[in-house]
Amino acid sequence: MTDPAPLVEVHDSPELLATAVAGELLNRIADAQAAGHVPHISLTGGTIAVAIHEEVARHAPASGVDWGAVHVWFGDERFVAPDSPDRNAGQARAAFIDAVGVPDANVHEFPSTADAADVDEAAARYAEELRAHWPGRFDVMMLGVGPDGHVNSLFPGFPQLTATGPTAGVTGSPKPPPERVTLTFETTSAAASVWFLVSGDGKADAVRRALADDGSVQETPARGVTGQAETIWFLDTAAASLL
């Protein structure tokens, strides 16, 4: 079976992009719950992700979603103190998780520096969390893309691109902070739907390279992730400007 061809959806502004993705996410979660399924979603960080999360909080009351029956995971995390503003989990909690009432037991955060001695221990502990609470597939995996084409904390040329196992520690990240923990391709690709969320002309070349007919995962890691049922690139006009 071949992977489904990626779909590209372009919106006129970052604000319209955020509203569209938030609405689609709420619909997917509500539909899954209506079918008797407990959805597991994986979040990403970054400016456009925060905007999407805020839109999720704004539209959540009318969505019919039972947030007590949703599990939230993270694609990667900065290995910093638990109260650091750099943590993706902290940003997501502030933007929507706490506001909509996802139970703490259903929010699966990567360990911080208060919970693990180093990135490798943090990765091992998150792998244990996956084994204990993850059904083996995400309903939706949301990913940002860096100007260099990285996704999660899988950077061009880094050894984590070929890591085996569900998680990996990262040191010497080219994007600060230098220490991180990430899902590997093995886990990131275990998703029914993969959504790339990209805004701004600074990401346009990375988008072009990721969607080109040729190129390598080592140079553009975003090429290494596809959804089992669908892959959608949600772009604003600036991010799509080189397509």
The domain locations on the chain are 7-236
pLDDT beyond 90 at 105: yes
- Mean pLDDT for the stretch of residues 41-69: 97
pLDDT higher than threshold 50 for residue 22: yes
What does the pLDDT read at residue 222?
98
Q: Is 10 helix (H, G, I), strand (E, B) or coil?
A: strand
Whether the per-residue pLDDT at 227 is higher than 60: the answer is: yes
Flag whether pLDDT at 203 surpasses 80: yes
Closest CA to 192 of 76, 49, 41: 41
Give the DSSP H or E segment for 49: helix 47-59
Position 1 scores a pLDDT of 42
Position 32, amino acid: A
CATH number of 7-236: 3.40.50.1360
**Predicted local distance difference test score (pLDDT) of residue 2:** 53
CA angle, residues 101, 131, 228, in degrees to nearest 5: 80
pLDDT at 3 over 80: no
> Mean pLDDT throughout 149-164?
97
User: Strands, E, within the chain: which ranges?
Assistant: 7-11, 40-43, 71-74, 76-78, 138-143, 167-170, 180-183, 191-198, 230-236
Tell me how far apart the alpha carbons of residues 207 and 205 are, in angstroms, rounded to a whole number.
5
113-131 pLDDT per residue, tens: 999 999 999 999 999 999 9
Q: What is the mean pLDDT of residues 175-202?
A: 97
Residue 69 has pLDDT above 90, yes or no: yes
State the average pLDDT for the chain.
97
